[in-house]
Amino acid sequence: SDSGTSSLTVSGNAVVDTRDSKILIASQASEVQVSAGSDGNGGIVFDGKSGTVYGNVTLDDPLTVGAGETLTIPKGSTLTVPEGATLTNNGTITVQSGGTLEGTPTGNGTVEYKVTGVSLDKATLELFTGGSETLTATFQPANATNQDVTWSSDKPEVATVEGGTVKAVGEGEATIIVTTVDGGKTATCKVTVTQATYSISADISPDFGSVYTGYTRPAAQTVTITNTGNQTLNLEQPASTKSFEVGTLSRTPLAPGEKATFTVQPKAGLAAGVYREEIQVSDSGNVTLSIPVSFSVQAAAAPQVTPAPAATPAPSDNITYYTCPSCGYHNWTATEAGYRCDNCGYLESTRQLSGYGNVKGTYTPGSGAAAPAASTIPQTGDESNPVLWTVLLLVSGLALGGLALRRKTEHSRS
């Protein structure tokens, strides 16, 4: 007809070859619609230099795609090259999305497999600021010829992407998009970024109290370190200080929430003084914790001496209080052996009284002496033994001269 649509149905694996001319139509307004047979079996139609596979075609006879020629397998069509058949390709065979080429062509031409889709190995990512992770794109079909893609982020202030590597920049959420150059197929990954924190804590600040020089070392104390951040730490072994010995850290890689311990103990032989130092626990510059430790050493205690009060002169009556020759104290207690200083216990016998002139005081004799079986002391009114009375008077006079004093005074000699 002069207008309308002309149709061509190919089936039975037929090949309509018009490569030396074209499919002729009666009018430029006419279209030629080519389709496969109703049973799904189709054929190949070359309209000039361009060929198309319609339906499911199994190649029965050898077919050559020459240089400068193309053969397209569109969506829904399949070209099967069985064993023993030959498909020589010196041009270009294009397998579109949804089309299938089964078998391997020979020749020096190219086979282009169009991209039908793309996906990412991760649909979501959770990163800490400063962290990174790489996404991998997978193409459909796997043998797609052009596997070039572009990467982008809808919020580069949260996460950036380059070559599939996502870097966390700031807190928030971002979407990473991969787009195929062939066909513009896309896939996405949602990224959540959290602020990274590096933090450790210690359960105690060891205080070893106070000792005297020549001390025995106090028992070591155990310090527990806890990773209170959200990042794994690689702790460095803390060093001993000038005055304290530090034990080995129980573990160095420390995941969030995990604990590690070490011991600390004052060194032996420290001189008198106060020792306040800090033990450093750090993770390669990310975080450093300073733990204060303290210890005090005092000089050995000396015996306490109470200073003796000075003698107190009393010029008004020309009397000076006697002073203990050992400590200078003035108060005394009388004993049978002599008089004893109330402060230092110095004992002065009665023989030393002779150097102090006239002395006033009261003598208290010792108690506990056994009574004689029969008394020979004359009683009041007994005048039968005048010699004994005379002896007793002499002894009494001597006793008054040898008394011990509570407080002694000495008349100044003038």
Encode pLDDT of 230-278 as tens digits: 999 999 999 999 999 999 999 999 999 999 999 999 999 999 999 999 9
The answer on 325 and 269 residing in a single domain is: no
Higher pLDDT: 230 or 356? It is 230
In whole angstroms, what separates CA 147 from the centre of its chain?
A: 45
What CATH number corresponds to the domain at position 179?
2.60.40.1080
Q: In this structure, what CATH number is given to the domain that contains residue 269?
A: 2.60.40.10
Among 56, 84, 113, residue at a domain's last position: 113
Beta 347-348 vs 137-140: how paired, if at all? unpaired
Confidence of residue 327 (pLDDT cuts 50, 70, 90): confident
Verify cis geometry, omega within 30 degrees of 0, for the bond prior to 105. no
Tokens of 318: 């020309």
Asked if the structure places residue 199 within a domain, the reply is: no
Whole-angstrom distance, CA of residue 289 vs CA of residue 230: 16
Q: Are residues 273 and 336 in the same domain?
A: no
Q: Which helix (H) or strand (E) holds 390?
A: helix 386-401
Do 106 and 9 fall within a single domain? yes
CB 200 within 8 A of CB 226: yes
In a domain, 306, yes or no: no
Same domain, residue pair 176 and 258: no
* Beta carbons of 199 and 224 less than 8 angstroms apart: no
Give Cβ neighbours of residue 254 (< 8 Å, ≥ 6 apart): 200, 225, 227, 232, 233, 234, 235, 260
Give residue 188's pLDDT band: very low, low, confident or very high (50, 70, 90): very high
Residue 257 shares a structural domain with residue 163: no
Residue 303 lies in a domain: no
Asked, for residue 201, whether it belongs to a domain, the answer is: no
Look at 19 and 338; give whichever has higher pLDDT: 338
C-beta separation of 71 from 64 below 8 A? no
- CA 112 → CA 80, 147, 293, distances in Å? 16, 11, 74
Note whether 359 and 405 are same-domain residues: yes
CA angle 140, 145, 150 (to 5 degrees): 75
Q: Residue 92 belongs to what H/E stretch?
A: strand 92-95
Contact 45/34 with Cβ under 8 angstroms? Answer: yes
β-bridge pairing 78-80 and 56-58? parallel
Tokens encoding 308: 């003796």
Q: Give residue 393's identity as a one-letter amino acid code.
A: L
Among residues 62, 79, 113, the one where a domain terminates is 113
Task: Give the pair of three-digit tokens for residue 215.
Answer: 């001390």
**Amino acid at site 222:** T
Backbone angles phi, psi at 401, to 5 degrees: -75, -20
Strands across the sheet containing 409-411: 313-314, 319-321, 409-411
Question: Does 287 lie in the same domain as 221?
Answer: yes
Answer with the one of 125, 159, 194 that is the final residue of a domain.
194
The C-alpha atoms of residue 230 and residue 4 are separated, in whole angstroms, by: 73
Inside any domain, residue 254: yes
Q: Say how far apart CA 145 and CA 61 lie, in whole Å.
A: 27
| CB contact burial 29-55 (16+ within 10 A = b; e otherwise) | eeeeebebbeeebbbbbbbeeebbbbb
Residue 89 phi, psi dihedral angles, 5° rounding: -120, 110
Asked if 410 and 359 count as a contact pair (C-beta separation under 8 A), the reply is yes
One domain, residues 35 and 61: yes
* pLDDT score recorded for residue 42: 81
Average pLDDT over residues 207-235: 97
45: pLDDT strictly greater than 70: yes
Does residue 96 sit within a domain? yes
Exposed / middle / buried, residue 208 (Cβ in 10 Å: 0-12, 13-18, 19+): buried
Instruction: Give the Cβ contact number of residue 83 at 10 Å.
Output: 5
Cβ atoms of 224 and 265 within 8 Å: the answer is no
Does some domain include residue 200?
Answer: no
- Mark whether 17 and 86 lie in a shared domain: yes
- Give the mean pLDDT of the chain: 80
The DSSP H or E segment spanning 47 is strand 43-47
Are 342 and 407 part of one and the same domain? yes
The average pLDDT across 59-87 equals: 93
Token pair of 78 as six digits: 């399949």
Query: Do 124 and 107 lie in a common domain?
Result: no
**Chain centre distance of CA 101:** 59
Domain that holds residue 333: 313-366+385-411
Per-residue confidence (pLDDT) for residue 316, from 0 to 100 = 55
Q: Which residue has the higher pLDDT, 7 or 225?
A: 225
Are 335 and 281 in the same domain?
A: no
Question: Which among 410, 315, 414, 402 has a CA at the least distance from the CA of 356?
Answer: 410
**Is 374 part of any domain?**
no
- The model's pTM: 0.56
Q: Which of 18-27, 91-100, 156-165, 306-315 has the lowest mean pLDDT?
A: 18-27
Q: What's the number of domains the chain is made of?
A: 4
Q: Which residue has the higher pLDDT, 157 or 27?
A: 157
Give the pLDDT band of residue 341 (cuts 50, 70, 90). confident
Position 20 scores a pLDDT of 54
The pLDDT-based confidence of 326 (bands split at 50, 70, 90) is confident
Is residue 173 predicted with pLDDT exceeding 80? yes
Q: Which two tokens stand for residue 273?
A: 């003084």
- Residue 374 predicted with pLDDT over 80: no
Count CA atoms closer than 13 A to 11's CA, side-chain side. 7
Residue with tokens 């047979």: 37
Residue 2 predicted with pLDDT over 50: no
